[in-house]
A and B are shown apart, each in its own frame.
Chain A
Amino acid sequence: MLIVKCPVCGAEGDETDFHAGGQAHVRRPATSDPSSVTDEEQRDYLFIRHNPKGLHFERWRCDRGCGKWFHAARDTVTMEFKAYYGITELPPADLIAQAKGPWAEYFANRLKAETKV
Chain B
Amino acid sequence: MSKPHRLSTGGRFIDRTKRIHFSFDGKQLTGFAGDTVASAVHANGQRVFGRSFKYHRPRGVIGLGSEEMNALVGVGDGVRHEPNLRATQVELHEGLIAVSQNRWPSLKFDVGAINSHVSRFIPGGFYYKTFMWPQALWKHVYEPIIRRAAGLGKAPEGRDPDTYENIHVHCDVLVIGAGVAGLAAAEAAAATGAKVIIADENPRFGGLADISGGTIEGQALPDWASVKASMLADAGNVHVLNRTTVVGHWHHNFVMLFERVADHDPALLAAGVPRHRLWKVRAGQVILATGSIERPIAFANNDRPGVMLASAARGMVERYGVSPGSSGIVFTNNDDAYQTAIVLKDAGVGVRVVDSRSRAEGALPNKAREMGIAVDTGSVISAVNTSWGGLNITDVKVASYRKGQGRVIKEAKVACDFVAMSGGWNPALHLWCHNGGKIRFDDTLQTFRPDRHADAIRAVGAANGTFVLSNILEEAYAAGSAAAKAVKPEATSIAVSVPTAVQADEKPLEPIWFAPATGKYNEGNKHFIDYQNDVTAADLELAQREGYESVEHTKRYTTFGMATDQGKTSNLNGLGILSEATGKTIPEIGVTTFRPPYTPFSFGSVAGPLTKNLFLPIRRTAIYQWHLDQGAVWEPVGQWRRAYTYPKAGEDKHASIDREILCVRNKVGLLDASTLGKIEIKGPDAAEFLDRMYTNMFSTLKVGKCRYGLMMNELGFLSDDGVTVRLGDDHFLMHTTSGGADRIAAWLEEWLQTEWTHYRVFVTPVTEQWSQFAIAGPRARDVLAKLEPSFDISHEALPHMSFVEGKLGPYPIRLFRISFSGELSYEVATPSNFGLGLWKDILAAGAEFGLEAYGTEALHVLRAEKGYIVVGDETDGTTTPVDVGLDGLVSKKKADFIGKRSLEQSYLKGPDRKQLVGLLTEDPNDVLPDGAYAVRHVKDKPPMEMIGQVTSSYKSPTLGRSIAMALIQNGRSRMGETLSFPLPGGKVIRAKITDTVFYDKEGAKLNV
Instruction: Report yes or no: B896 in contact with A31, Cβ–Cβ below 8 A.
Output: yes
Instruction: Report yes or no: B901 in contact with A79, Cβ–Cβ below 8 A.
Output: no
A61 touching B251 in the complex, CB below 8 Å, given contacts A30-B901, A31-B755, A34-B901: no
User: Which single residue of chain B is at the shortest CB-CB distance from A77?
Assistant: B454
Instruction: Report yes or no: A3 in contact with B252, Cβ–Cβ below 8 A.
Output: yes
Q: Which residues of B contact A78 (CB under 8 A)?
A: 454
A79 touching B282 in the complex, CB below 8 Å, given contacts A30-B896, A39-B906, A59-B754: no
B721-772 CB contacts (< 8 Å) to partner A: 746, 749-750, 753-757
Question: B213 → chain A, closest Cβ, in Å?
Answer: 41
Instruction: Classify chain B's interface size.
Output: 20 to 34
Partner of A37, one of B746, B901, B906: B901
Determine the distance from Cα of A63 to Cα of B941 in the docked complex, in whole angstroms: 51
Instruction: Report yes or no: A80 in contact with B454, Cβ–Cβ below 8 A.
Output: yes
Q: Which residues of B contact A35 (CB under 8 A)?
A: 895
Instruction: Report yes or no: A69 in contact with B753, Cβ–Cβ below 8 A.
Output: yes
Q: Which residues of A contact B754 (CB under 8 A)?
A: 59, 69, 87-88
Q: Which residues of B contact A77 (CB under 8 A)?
A: 454
Instruction: Report yes or no: B905 in contact with A30, Cβ–Cβ below 8 A.
Output: no
Q: Which residues of A contact B224 (CB under 8 A)?
A: none
Instruction: Report yes or no: A30 in contact with B454, Cβ–Cβ below 8 A.
Output: no
User: Which single residue of chain B is at the shortest CB-CB distance from A19?
Assistant: B746
B254 within 8 A of A: yes
Instruction: Report yes or no: B252 in contact with A79, Cβ–Cβ below 8 A.
Output: yes
Q: Which residues of A contact B896 (CB under 8 A)?
A: 30-31, 34
Question: B851 → chain A, closest Cβ, in Å?
Answer: 41
Instruction: Report yes or no: B900 in contact with A68, Cβ–Cβ below 8 A.
Output: no
Determine the distance from Cα of A78 to Cα of B455 in the docked complex, in whole angstroms: 8
Q: Name the residue among A1, A3, A14, A21 with the largest chain B CB count within 10 angstroms.
A: A1
B834 within 8 A of A: no
Q: Which residues of A contact B902 (CB under 8 A)?
A: 42, 46
Instruction: Report yes or no: B905 in contact with A39, Cβ–Cβ below 8 A.
Output: yes
Instruction: Report yes or no: B715 in contact with A2, Cβ–Cβ below 8 A.
Output: no
Q: Name the residue among B251, B454, B746, B901 with the largest chain A CB count within 10 angstroms.
A: B901
B714 within 8 A of A: yes
A28 within 8 A of B: yes
Question: A79 → chain B, closest Cβ, in Å?
Answer: 5
B634 within 8 A of A: no
Determine the distance from Cα of A3 to Cα of B902 in the docked complex, in whole angstroms: 36
A-B contact count (CB 8 A): 56
B557 within 8 A of A: no
Question: B570 → chain A, closest Cβ, in Å?
Answer: 29
User: Which single residue of chain B is at the shortest CB-CB distance from A35?
Assistant: B895
Determine the distance from Cα of A79 to Cα of B905 in the docked complex, in whole angstroms: 37
Q: Which residues of A contact B254 (CB under 8 A)?
A: 1, 14
Q: Which residues of B contact A19 (CB under 8 A)?
A: 746
B896-918 CB contacts (< 8 Å) to partner A: 896, 900-902, 905-906
Q: Which residues of B contact A14 (CB under 8 A)?
A: 254, 282
Chain A contact residues: helix, strand, loop or mixed: mixed
Determine the distance from Cα of A80 to Cα of B901 in the docked complex, in whole angstroms: 37
Instruction: Report yes or no: B750 in contact with A61, Cβ–Cβ below 8 A.
Output: yes
Q: Which residues of B contact A42 (CB under 8 A)?
A: 901-902, 905
Partner of B749, one of A31, A37, A46, A67: A67
B868 within 8 A of A: no
Determine the distance from Cα of A45 to Cα of B899 in the docked complex, in whole angstroms: 12
Question: B717 → chain A, closest Cβ, in Å?
Answer: 11
Instruction: Report yes or no: A2 in contact with B252, Cβ–Cβ below 8 A.
Output: yes
User: Which single residue of chain A is at the shortest CB-CB distance from B745?
Assistant: A67
Question: A71 → chain B, closest Cβ, in Å?
Answer: 10
Instruction: Report yes or no: B454 in contact with A79, Cβ–Cβ below 8 A.
Output: yes
B350-371 CB mask vs A (1 if < 8 Å, else 0) is 0000000000000000000000
Question: B302 → chain A, closest Cβ, in Å?
Answer: 41
User: Which single residue of chain B is at the shortest CB-CB distance from A1?
Assistant: B254
Determine the distance from Cα of A47 to Cα of B781 in the docked complex, in whole angstroms: 51
User: Which single residue of chain B is at the shortest CB-CB distance from A8?
Assistant: B753
Q: Which residues of A contact B715 (CB under 8 A)?
A: 46
Q: Which residues of A contact B895 (CB under 8 A)?
A: 34-35
Question: B907 → chain A, closest Cβ, in Å?
Answer: 10
Instruction: Report yes or no: B252 in contact with A46, Cβ–Cβ below 8 A.
Output: no
Q: Which residues of A contact B901 (CB under 8 A)?
A: 29-30, 34, 37, 42
B13 within 8 A of A: no
Instruction: Report yes or no: B251 in contact with A1, Cβ–Cβ below 8 A.
Output: yes
A53-85 CB mask vs B (1 if < 8 Å, else 0) is 000000101000001110000000111100000
B882-899 CB mask vs A (1 if < 8 Å, else 0) is 000000000000011000
Determine the distance from Cα of A30 to Cα of B716 in the docked complex, in whole angstroms: 13
Instruction: Report yes or no: B900 in contact with A30, Cβ–Cβ below 8 A.
Output: yes
Determine the distance from Cα of A78 to Cα of B453 in the docked complex, in whole angstroms: 9
B548 within 8 A of A: no
Instruction: Report yes or no: B753 in contact with A68, Cβ–Cβ below 8 A.
Output: yes
Instruction: Report yes or no: B750 in contact with A69, Cβ–Cβ below 8 A.
Output: yes
B142 within 8 A of A: no
B140-164 CB contacts (< 8 Å) to partner A: none
Q: Which residues of B contact A45 (CB under 8 A)?
A: 714
Instruction: Report yes or no: A87 in contact with B906, Cβ–Cβ below 8 A.
Output: no
Q: Which residues of B contact A69 (CB under 8 A)?
A: 749-750, 753-754
Instruction: Report yes or no: B757 in contact with A88, Cβ–Cβ below 8 A.
Output: yes
Determine the distance from Cα of A103 to Cα of B896 in the docked complex, in whole angstroms: 28
Q: Which residues of B contact A80 (CB under 8 A)?
A: 454
Question: A48 → chain B, closest Cβ, in Å?
Answer: 14
Partner of A1, one of B252, B714, B753, B905: B252
Determine the distance from Cα of A87 to Cα of B755 in the docked complex, in whole angstroms: 10
B250 within 8 A of A: yes
Q: Which residues of A contact B906 (CB under 8 A)?
A: 39
Determine the distance from Cα of A34 to Cα of B905 in the docked complex, in whole angstroms: 13
Question: A81 → chain B, closest Cβ, in Å?
Answer: 9
A1-12 CB mask vs B (1 if < 8 Å, else 0) is 111000000000
Determine the distance from Cα of A39 to Cα of B714 in the docked complex, in whole angstroms: 14
Determine the distance from Cα of A35 to Cα of B901 in the docked complex, in whole angstroms: 9
User: Which single residue of chain B is at the shortest CB-CB distance from A43?
Assistant: B905
Q: Which residues of A contact B756 (CB under 8 A)?
A: 31
Instruction: Report yes or no: B755 in contact with A28, Cβ–Cβ below 8 A.
Output: yes
User: Which single residue of chain A is at the shortest CB-CB distance from B253?
Assistant: A3
Question: A83 → chain B, closest Cβ, in Å?
Answer: 16
Instruction: Report yes or no: A3 in contact with B282, Cβ–Cβ below 8 A.
Output: yes
Determine the distance from Cα of A39 to Cα of B903 in the docked complex, in whole angstroms: 11
Determine the distance from Cα of A59 to Cα of B754 in the docked complex, in whole angstroms: 10
Question: A114 → chain B, closest Cβ, in Å?
Answer: 17
Determine the distance from Cα of A39 to Cα of B754 in the docked complex, in whole angstroms: 23
User: Which single residue of chain B is at the shortest CB-CB distance from A63?
Assistant: B746
Q: Name the residue among A2, A21, A28, A35 with the largest chain B CB count within 10 angstroms.
A: A28
User: Which single residue of chain B is at the shortest CB-CB distance from A78?
Assistant: B454
Q: Which residues of A contact B757 (CB under 8 A)?
A: 87-88
Q: Which residues of B contact A88 (CB under 8 A)?
A: 754, 757
Q: Which residues of A contact B251 (CB under 8 A)?
A: 1-2, 79
User: Which single residue of chain A is at the shortest CB-CB distance from B901?
Assistant: A30
Q: Which residues of B contact A46 (CB under 8 A)?
A: 714-715, 902
Q: Which residues of B contact A34 (CB under 8 A)?
A: 895-896, 900-901
User: Which single residue of chain A is at the shortest CB-CB distance from B895?
Assistant: A34
Q: Which residues of B contact A2 (CB under 8 A)?
A: 251-252
Determine the distance from Cα of A31 to Cα of B751 in the docked complex, in whole angstroms: 11
Question: A37 → chain B, closest Cβ, in Å?
Answer: 5
Question: B561 → chain A, closest Cβ, in Å?
Answer: 25
Question: B256 → chain A, closest Cβ, in Å?
Answer: 10
What are 8 A-B interface contacts by the 8 Å CB criterion? A1-B254, A14-B254, A14-B282, A28-B755, A46-B715, A67-B749, A69-B749, A87-B757
A interface residues (Cβ-Cβ under 8 A, vs B): 1-3, 14, 19, 21, 28-31, 34-35, 37, 39, 42, 45-46, 59, 61, 67-69, 77-80, 87-88
Extra pairs beyond A3-B282, A29-B901, A31-B896 (20, CB < 8 Å): A1-B250, A1-B254, A2-B251, A3-B252, A14-B254, A14-B282, A30-B896, A34-B901, A35-B895, A39-B905, A39-B906, A42-B901, A42-B905, A61-B750, A67-B749, A78-B454, A79-B251, A87-B753, A87-B754, A88-B754
Q: A-B pairs with the 5 shortest C-beta distances?
A: A78-B454, A34-B896, A1-B254, A3-B252, A30-B901
